[in-house]
Amino acid sequence: MQFQSVTFDLDGTLLDTIADLAEACRRMLQEVAAPPRSPEEIHRFVGKGMAVLVERCLTWETSPAPEYLAAGIEAFKKHYATVNGAQAQIYPGVREGLDLWQAHGLKLGVVTNKPAQFTEPLLQRSGLAGYFSVVVSGDSTAEKKPHPEPILHACRLLGVAPQRNLHIGDSLNDVLAARAAGSLAYCVPYGYNEGRPVDSADCDALVSDLVAAYRQALSSSARK
């Protein structure tokens, strides 16, 4: 296989976490006396990290005042720490796909915009932590996806050239980060992507799940 490592997005790729995020947002909005948001709105707001999620929840006619946003972020952190992983579901094909990648001898990592204080507990509670030798969270580097630095940082930790890494995610943020880093990007169609469905033209391969991603990588390598 042409790849030596695979990095994965977390929310919307490995785990469906929207129920937990929506509940934390509901509690946060109630605490700061803001109008409620629907699950569909929360779904569209996910994609660029916790602070952006909270800011989008608190933005109506105008952006929230800095002190109001700060209060919202602190409230969200408190409530999400309580509900993180409570309703999260592993997407179909994730365990099977990770087993295939692992059995092939590839190094596996997670690259997410979620803060580290929530990433590690979520991976532990979901039972997925043991698959990954590297976890890069939203505050592990100075930049978040779509900037390439999180993927570049993961590759450095894995000891793999970015060109030998495959990144799999659910959004254009993942594609942009991977391409800027020099990695190929596969996308799954079932995630969040800020309310915009990914298209096959956006990425190097649009795959139904992680098992299909493994087969696609094998097939592509065989043709080279």
Domain ranges in the chain are: 5-16+89-223, 18-83
For CA atoms 19, 21, 24, 26, give the dihedral sign. Answer: negative
> Considering the domain 18-83, what is its CATH architecture?
Orthogonal Bundle (1.10)
- The pLDDT-based confidence of 4 (bands split at 50, 70, 90) is very high
The whole-angstrom separation of Cα 14 and Cα 110 is 9
CB distance 53 to 94 below 8 Å: no
| Token pair belonging to 116 | 């580290």
* Pairing outcome for strands 165-169 and 5-8: parallel
Give residue 202's pLDDT: 85
Distance, CA of 111 to chain centre: 7
Give residue 194's pLDDT: 81
- The pLDDT-based confidence of 23 (bands split at 50, 70, 90) is very high
CATH no., domain 5-16+89-223: 3.40.50.1000
Over residues 65-79, the mean pLDDT reads: 98
Give residue 76's pLDDT: 98
Whether the upstream peptide bond of residue 150 has omega within 30° of 0, thus cis, is: no
CB distance 162 to 7 below 8 Å: no
Give residue 222's pLDDT: 67
The whole-angstrom separation of Cα 94 and Cα 9 is 12
Give residue 224's pLDDT: 62
Active site residues: 9
CA-to-CA separations, 14 to 120, 155, 165, in angstroms, rounded: 14, 19, 18
- 159-203 pLDDT, tens digit each: 999 999 999 999 999 999 999 999 999 999 998 888 787 888 789
Amino acid at 86: A
- 96-133 pLDDT, tens digit each: 999 999 999 999 999 999 999 999 999 999 999 999 99
The whole-angstrom separation of Cα 210 and Cα 93 is 6
User: Chain-wide mean pLDDT for the chain?
Assistant: 95
Most confident of 37-46, 79-88, 196-205: 79-88
CA dihedral 188, 194, 195, 200 (to 10 degrees): -40
